[in-house]
Amino acid sequence: MTKIIGLIPARMKASRFPGKPLFPIHGKPMIEHVWHRAAMYPKWDKLAICTCDKVIEDFAVSKGFPVVMTADTHVRALDRVAEAAGKCGIPVDKDDVIVCVQGDEPMMRPDMIDAVCKPFEDPAVNATVLGMHVVDESIFKNPDTVKIVHDIYGDVLYTSRSPIPHAKTFSPELGARRIYGILAFRWHYLQTFLNLKPTPLELQEACDSNRICGSGLKQRVAFYPNIPSYSVDSPADREFVEREITKDPLWGRY
């Protein structure tokens, strides 16, 4: 049986927003919201926070959340996730699925994790990324939002901070998709990814998925409808997210 291992990477020294994992949303650190919501997914064989910061470890331990300590030299979340997967406390086989749940998505839902995991029922699929339908032109044009174009089979062709695919006039019927912070790899494929050199387009767009497609490998888009779900990119986002999260169907369940 293929195992599903979830890891929530977190570090205090994020360049754009230091201390983000413990930033309070309605009195709970952001990573606590992410943990509780991810824990609602029923098919985990293991779920843990992974970090290099003792303050995050101490918080996780105080709440009873499993935590894996990693090196403090990792710049990208997937490097931290890969180290943590090898130290997560259960044996990891080559076809097991490693799910990275980004720690700045306090409004994520467990059915998003299910969407990212379901394509692995096909043994030919080795990597996935959640692709949320874009219905708002401001999100389509926002360079902080990474958009996806894919082939007819649903595999990523390219990701960009520019509005793609091009359209003279935006509409929801364009079918644009954006990357949401949940992605997954088979264990052997994650190691292959990390052994690849960063590609020029990955560096230009600051998006890991371009290393995959830019190296001739495949990543399947897990299609997901548009819902109100917002990440926290700066302290200024708190007021908006605090208002919107109370309208969420998971509010009050943890």
23-42 pLDDT, tens digit per residue, is: 999 999 999 999 999 999 99
Dihedral sign computed on CA atoms, order 173, 179, 184, 186: positive
pLDDT of 167: 93
pLDDT of 39: 98
CATH number at residue 221: 3.90.550.10
> pLDDT-based confidence at 1, cuts 50/70/90?
confident
The answer to whether position 250 is within a domain reads: no
pLDDT at 222 over 90: yes
Find the domain containing 93 and state its range: 4-245
**Inter-residue contact 73 to 4 (CB < 8 Å):** no
The answer to whether position 106 is within a domain reads: yes
Q: In the predicted model, what is the mean pLDDT of the chain? A: 95
pLDDT at 14 over 80: no
The answer to whether position 254 is within a domain reads: no
The answer to whether position 253 is within a domain reads: no
pLDDT average, residue stretch 115-142? 97
* Percent of the residues in the chain that have a pLDDT greater than 90, as a whole number: 91
Q: Quote the pTM value.
A: 0.95
What does DSSP assign to residue 162?
A: S
pLDDT at 148 over 80: yes
Dihedral sign computed on CA atoms, order 70, 196, 204, 222: negative
**Inter-residue contact 216 to 193 (CB < 8 Å):** no
Q: What angle do CA 172, 233, 47 make, to 5 degrees?
A: 95
pLDDT at 16 over 80: no
pLDDT average, residue stretch 91-98? 97
pLDDT at 76 over 90: no
pLDDT at 15 over 80: no
pLDDT at 149 over 90: yes
**Residue 145, Ramachandran bin (φ over 0: left; ψ between -120 and 50: alpha; else beta):** beta
Query: What is the tally of structural domains in the chain?
Result: 1
The answer to whether position 78 is within a domain reads: yes
Query: Two tokens at 237?
Result: 């986002």
